[in-house]
Amino acid sequence: MFTGIIQAVGRVATVEPRGQDARVRIDSGRLDLTDVALGDSIACNGVCLTVIAADMTGFDVDVSAETLRCTRGFQTGQTVNLEKAMRVQDRLGGHLVSGHVDGVASVVSFQPAGECMELVIRAPEALARYVVAKGSVAIDGVSLTVNRVADAGFSINLIPHTLENTGLHGLSAGSAVNLEIDMMARYAERILTYAREMA
């Protein structure tokens, strides 16, 4: 589990295709890897990945074909938001994020709004119903609050701190982003669906 509070911004150093899968090397930037062991989980742009090798400058992960299919993938040179898995004693500064990306959304616009930037996202139709005003979503692993919802689109205000400490400042209209909806929305839908089926 993760919180959606980004700990460092890294960069994809290499992508080595292995059939339909890939081995990816991440330069970890300022992420402290001294407490990272093989088998630990690190969210990379919101994708929960298992560390298979690490040193003080970065780490390696294997990415399955299924993960590549469900996310925007990894390309050499790409900026990645990094977060180590949360510990039981950690503060939950964002919201509960599983690191299981639900789909790829697209940026409609990214425009100044005072000192902030307004990010407008179009969600895949199958996921749009789970996004609610003042609810939470994770965009490329960053825990964010939804301001407004209209059909399959929704808007978010990014404060200067978020822009300075994540890779989201590099977005533009047309960018693809990993989207994870609030898991509570899925649970609520399942409970209501089950109740209707049993009625």
pLDDT digits (tens, 9 = 90+) for 71-91: 999 999 999 999 999 987 777
Average pLDDT value for residue range 128-133: 93
Listed residue (193, 57, 197, 81) closest to 140, CA to CA: 81
| Backbone phi and psi for residue 187, each to the nearest 5 degrees, phi listed first | -65, -45
Token duo for residue 52: 């298979």
pLDDT at 91: 77
**Domain architecture of the chain: domains with CATH:** 8-84 (2.40.30.20), 103-192 (2.40.30.20)
Q: pTM for the complete prediction?
A: 0.93
